[in-house]
Structure 1
Amino acid sequence: MSQYLTVNVVTPNGLVYDHHASIVVAKTTDGELGILPNHIPVIAPLLIDEVKVGRKDDDGHVDWIAVNGGIMEVRDSVVSIVADSAERERDIDVSRAERAKIRAERMIEEAKQKDDVDELRRATVALHRAINRINVSKHL
């Protein structure tokens, strides 16, 4: 029986996160999912949201990762998250995220005026990503 989880977060740009943890909490399309060592195997689609990782090396240490969707696989006390993009709280450029939020809000208004459903959907996703990054950066 494993005493800890190994957590890996990977994007097309490479490895974003690799640590041992006592717990991982992520939001899936079916709701929030908490993973402890020796959890049953699971594959779940993730929402654009934060992933909370309770580090094994320090009970009070929590890492936060902004994940823009993706898939989480749990097997043999290994939590693997594959996402289009992901950033740790310490790596988020808050001013860039704020600018992205403003751009997305402007795109939403323009899409509503043009009644462009596809553009509205893309802009809404962009807004959600920007807000997620801003929220995760506040955990620092």
Structure 2
Amino acid sequence: MADKTFQVDVVSPDQVLYSGSATFLRAQTTDGEVGILASHAPIFAELAPGGAVVVTEADGSKVAIAAQGGFLSVTGTEAKVLAESAQLAREVDVEAERAVLESAEEGTEEYLVARSRIRAVDALS
């Protein structure tokens, strides 16, 4: 039976946010939301503004990451998320980000970052 896990690395220029074995990866790209399983066909995609990345680990637990800008690269054995900036969902101040969504103009960088962070938090709910 084929291995159902694959290596996932999520990095930004200043930190490694996740590195480990996963059974599923979900990410919003400019072409739509994609789901990645082990042995997925190779793809290279641009991450969508205001998107999030969710990693499902072998034990079923999830790690969500707000990722702004960057790329997703998938080979048959690994997936790499190279984000321009990123933050773990568990580090997000939800109330502060909701306030930004209310006050910022839709489509601005400030709005998209807040939306990304809220998406990451919501992915764990």
Task: Name the TM tier (shorter chain).
Answer: 0.7 to 0.9
Match of 2:111 in 1: 127
Q: Find the partner of 1:137 among 118, 121, 124.
A: 121
* Superposed displacement of residue 99, structure 1: 5.4
Match of 1:114 in 2: none
* Superposed displacement of residue 85, structure 1: 1.0
> 1:2–1:77: 8 Å Cα contact kept in structure 2?
no
Larger Rg: 1
- RMSD over aligned CA atoms reads 2.1
* Superposed displacement of residue 78, structure 1: 0.8
Give the Cα separation in 1 of the matches to 2:118 and 2:94. 6
Higher percent of residues as helix:
1
Q: Mark the runs of 5 or more structure 2 residues left unpaired by the alignment.
A: none
What is the aligned residue count? 122
Q: Which amino acid aligns with 2:109?
A: V
Q: Mark the runs of 5 or more structure 1 residues left unpaired by the alignment.
A: 109-119
* Superposed displacement of residue 97, structure 1: 3.0
TM-score by length of 1: 0.75
* Superposed displacement of residue 102, structure 1: 5.5
Match of 2:39 in 1: 38
- Secondary structure of residue in 1 paired with 2:47: strand
> 1:5–1:20: 8 Å Cα contact kept in structure 2?
yes
Identity among equivalent pairs (%): 30
* Superposed displacement of residue 136, structure 1: 2.1
Kindly provide the CA deviation profile for residues 11-36 of structure 1, in whole angstroms up to 9, marking residues without a partner as x.
11121111211111111111111111
Give the Cα separation in 1 of the matches to 2:55 and 2:25. 5
Kindly provide the CA deviation profile for residues 46-83 of structure 1, in whole angstroms up to 9, marking residues without a partner as x.
11312121111x13x22211111210001132110001
> 2:11–2:18: 8 Å Cα contact kept in structure 1?
yes
Q: Which has the higher contact order (CA 8 A, sep 6+)?
A: 2
- Secondary structure of residue in 2 paired with 1:79: strand
> 1:69–1:83: 8 Å Cα contact kept in structure 2?
yes
Q: Which amino acid aligns with 1:3?
A: K
- After TM superposition, what 4+ stretches of structure 1 lie above 6 angstroms from structure 2? none
